[in-house]
Structure 1
């Protein structure tokens, strides 16, 4: 059982990050270039600093891994994994398809996740072994829909640019077998999968802060979130991520992605 205080911390962290991010959305931002050429803004940095301060105050013995400021307290059993703005390119171009990701690992296993959309004020919450929750003025129930074959599936991917010479043909095989493929959305696409609006999401080059919060949400909505081979996601995973709403879909799509 995950202590209730940990969920309270995750939600308080999402609230605090949203209060930092919302005033900067669609404003003039100082955008820097990171080593991987992805845009990073003061919103990313300020939101992560805010979340880290809150965690340090409430759980000083916990570890933290964040996209902007690296790792603290390595070796801790409980480790928070943070992406203050997942989908920074959407954020800096004014599209509300970004989100704040707050995950918690226990001995390397994702056990708690929050996907928070500060602009639309939508929030998905997942805790290991419990049904996922969703809060939004638009309504919706976090429950993945049946879709047993890829030929019937709505497939989503963040961007074709994330594939290299080795992964591109494997993704193409899954794309060609799917009913339809849509692009973009970053973490928001995984939230839509949890709502039964998308059937599968396939991404690559994903870091722990990109997926740690997603696993408890997807699995709490009845789906599965693994690497392309169908293995559980861990800190040493290979960067591939496959999420399916219907678990019966996993073997077919995983076989295609295996090449």
Structure 2
């Protein structure tokens, strides 16, 4: 079966537009917040749930035979083609009024993400990739994403959402990355990966990701010239402990550092 890349791209954009009609009216408003966890805090709001419902409707109409995995409403269907949705990646940022959350929609074939979108509708930015290109869209202008080209750890700028993610056995790995690099910035959620694709960061490292946290970002980074893998070097589309880098050379050095820390 030949993939219709134009239709996939159009569906990604239409689904993001549909999600924005649900998220933007609720952003920076007073929301009821539910906690998914018995211990700790993993917030979810009506913005998450209704945005995923809207995304699923667009995908199901365009590709009724494809499978869907979503953070809020689970899995449906069985196909070599799977759409992977995080309607509001960075709900903590969303409920704090910080515009570093995003809508993530990935498209995977046989378990590997080959197309994806990160939309930040409040500031009007869209990062999107299909096989052969990764682009940035804002204000009606489209430009190519291109990573920084950095190959060395020492001058690298590193993003992670919070060092507190690296608890237990992972703490030493974060300490090693922090010591080996020049600059570290926190609180970025999915936006950090998008900025890596745009050449503004060199590394992003995070543990314990779910597939809906990372699948959409994998092709955005790879098609911009970057590289991304789990800490053991395996494919990251399904989630896990993940590191993204501006170049394959930098990824190799990061993986070696993580392995020995």
> Fold conserved (TM > 0.5)?
yes
Aligned to 2:22: 20
- Deviation string 1:180-199 (CA, Å, 9 cap, x unpaired) is 11111111001111111100
Work out whether residues 147 and 249 of structure 1, in 8 Å CA contact, stay in contact via their aligned partners in 2.
yes
Q: Aligned match of 2:41 in 6, 23, 37?
A: 37
1:244 pairs with 2:245: yes
Mapped partners of 2:55, 2:151: distance in 1: 39
Deviation >2 Å, runs of 4+: 137-141
Pick aligned residue for 1:48 from 29, 48, 52: 52
Distance apart, 1:164 and its partner CA: 2.4
CA distance in 2, matches of 1:169, 1:87: 25
Deviation, structure 1 residue 251: 1.5
The two structures, once aligned, show a CA RMSD in angstroms of 1.5
Scaled by the length of structure 2, the TM-score of the pair is 0.94
Checking the alignment, whether the CA contact within 8 Å between 1:224 and 1:245 is kept in structure 2 is: yes
Consecutive unaligned residues in structure 2, runs of 5 or more: none
Name the CA distance, whole Å, in 2 between partners of 1:212 and 1:169: 26
Q: CA distance change for structure 1 residues 148 and 120 in 2, over 3 Å: closer, same or farther?
A: same
Structure 1 residue runs of 5 or longer lacking an equivalent are: none
- Normalized per residue, which structure has more strand? 2
Aligned partner of residue 205 in structure 1, secondary structure: strand
Q: Supply the distance in 1 between the matched residues of 2:72 and 2:203 (Cα, whole angstroms).
A: 28
1:113 match: 116
Assess if the C-alpha contact under 8 Å between 1:140 and 1:195 holds in 2. no
